[in-house]
Amino acid sequence: MERGPISFARVRCMGRVLIIGAGGVGSVTVQKCAMVPDVFEHICLASRTLAKCDAIAARLKRTIRTAQVDADDVDQLVGLIRDDRPDLVVNLALPYQDLHIMDACLRTGVHYLDTANYEPPDVAHFEYAWQWAYHDRFSQAGIMALLGSGFDPGVTNVFCAYAQKHLFDEIHTIDIVDCNGGDHGLPFATNFNPEINIREVTAKGRYWESGQWHETEPLSVHRSFDFPGIGPRQMTLMYHEELESLVKHIKGLKRIRFWMTFGEEYLTHLRVLQNVGLTRIDAVEYEGHTIVPLQFLKALLPDPASLGEGYTGRTCIGCVVEGVRDGKPARRFIYNTCDHARCYEQVEAQAVAYTTGVPAMIGAMLVLTKTWLGEGVFHMEQFDPDPFMGALKEHGLPWEVMPWNGSI
């Protein structure tokens, strides 16, 4: 019989964590883990570039281990895991490397957690099928993989599970809305890895309704939404990976969509970059060298980890959920707002990195304390949402629930 997820009341339990990836999200996650020493007894931060790990470690008030590792090399990963002996590996590297790190966890019998699903480097396409295929092997090994423990995916999945448990008898529609109302003062920059960001934004939109998936042309469907703490903004329908798992796990769902806001300056720059070919992911020859235009563009753009200082404004991300409660129609908006400047004061990072790094720490904490436990591959909404929702407020991402009378 296939074993499902198990939730336990949080117990005091110290553990060892290996975090792979020293970008903006990795920096936030490490700092947040270091603030919870009763859970994170030992922390190792590893990356292809050791100097990045050492720079983050130098800012901490406690000692952690740093290491160099190529996350594309499974043997290297296995060697580091065996040497460091973690209870959990937190993957904050590139989505291209998810399967390599999962393979290393299988070979060493260690739990796995990530914040974004796998996508192949040579095709701008992402879905969970590759990682779902690991379920039986993780189950047989007696270990778990927790997928998508960021904000979206991650917190948004937990918001939906919370709504299903506490706010609705039936859920019919979900609209996940994501707005960055901040200003970093630069002509064009991405708030997370430029290569992943641009691949995601330029892909076709996709949503689920009446039992099937529907596609839209990239950036072609728009709606206005009044974001708390920010105000009205135009948002665009996109495809996002949490839709794929929520369709499977939210009972009675009839439609689910994902929306994100973009400033006009961002969209103008993106159109120009597309028109001149700099968003291409196929290799081209240039003066005797083979280059991938999007990777070259990434090298020219600001490092997202450098955007924190001087960043103003807020993010607002949440779920508009519609359904039935006590026999009557009901609609609720569950959301978080996060201030860029306050994030920088605390961990020297902008709010997009903060809102991903904090949930990664919380997910890791719930695994290490055996609050969330299972054998196989799981998504956030498959577990009891209450411990996670409580931890969000405790660790810097307070949330609100409000009636919602608008339309999307």
Burial class (CB within 10 angstroms; exposed 0-12, middle 13-18, buried 19+) of 263: middle
Nearest to 267 by CA among 183, 188, 176, 351: 188
Binned at pLDDT 50, 70 and 90, residue 137 comes out as very high
Would you say the C-alpha torsion 375, 381, 384, 389 has a positive or negative sign? positive
Buried b (16+ CB within 10 A) or exposed e, 230-250: beebebbbbbbbbbbbbeebb
Q: To the nearest whole percent, how much of the chain has pLDDT over 70?
A: 96
Binned at pLDDT 50, 70 and 90, residue 348 comes out as very high
Per the CB < 8 A criterion, the answer to whether 216 and 252 are in contact is no
On the question of pLDDT at 90 being above 60, the answer is: yes
Binned at pLDDT 50, 70 and 90, residue 4 comes out as low
DSSP string spanning 65-121? EEEE--TT-HHHHHHHHHHH--SEEEE-S-GGGHHHHHHHHHHHT-EEEESS----T
* pLDDT one-digit tens code per residue, 144-201: 999 999 999 999 999 999 999 999 999 999 999 999 998 887 777 776 677 777 878 8
On the question of pLDDT at 6 being above 70, the answer is: no
Mean pLDDT, the chain, rounded, equals 92
What is the average per-residue pLDDT within 57-80?
97
Report helix angle 293-300 to 194-201, nearest 10: 120
On the question of pLDDT at 1 being above 50, the answer is: no
* pLDDT one-digit tens code per residue, 230-277: 999 999 999 999 999 999 999 999 999 999 998 887 878 788 888 888
Show me where the domains of the chain are located.
6-151+356-391, 155-339+398-403
What is the average per-residue pLDDT within 337-343?
97
What is the average per-residue pLDDT within 351-372?
97
Burial class (CB within 10 angstroms; exposed 0-12, middle 13-18, buried 19+) of 382: buried
On the question of pLDDT at 297 being above 50, the answer is: yes
- CATH among 3.40.50.720, 3.40.50.300, 3.30.360.10, 1.10.3720.10 for 155-339+398-403: 3.30.360.10
Q: To the nearest whole percent, how much of the chain has pLDDT over 90?
A: 75
Q: Among 72-81, 119-128, 169-178, which stretch is predicted with the lowest mean pLDDT? A: 119-128
What is the average per-residue pLDDT within 300-304?
80
Burial class (CB within 10 angstroms; exposed 0-12, middle 13-18, buried 19+) of 109: exposed
* pLDDT one-digit tens code per residue, 202-238: 889 999 999 999 999 998 999 999 999 999 999 999 9
Report helix angle 351-368 to 385-394, nearest 10: 130
What is the average per-residue pLDDT within 99-108?
98
Nearest to 3 by CA among 351, 368, 373: 373
Domain 6-151+356-391 has CATH 3.40.50.720: yes
Q: Among 178-192, 311-325, 326-340, 384-398, which stretch is predicted with the lowest mean pLDDT? A: 178-192
On the question of pLDDT at 390 being above 60, the answer is: yes
On the question of pLDDT at 10 being above 60, the answer is: no
pLDDT at residue 3, as a whole number: 45
pLDDT at residue 122, as a whole number: 75
User: Nearest 5 degrees, angle CA 104-CA 13-CA 55?
Assistant: 60
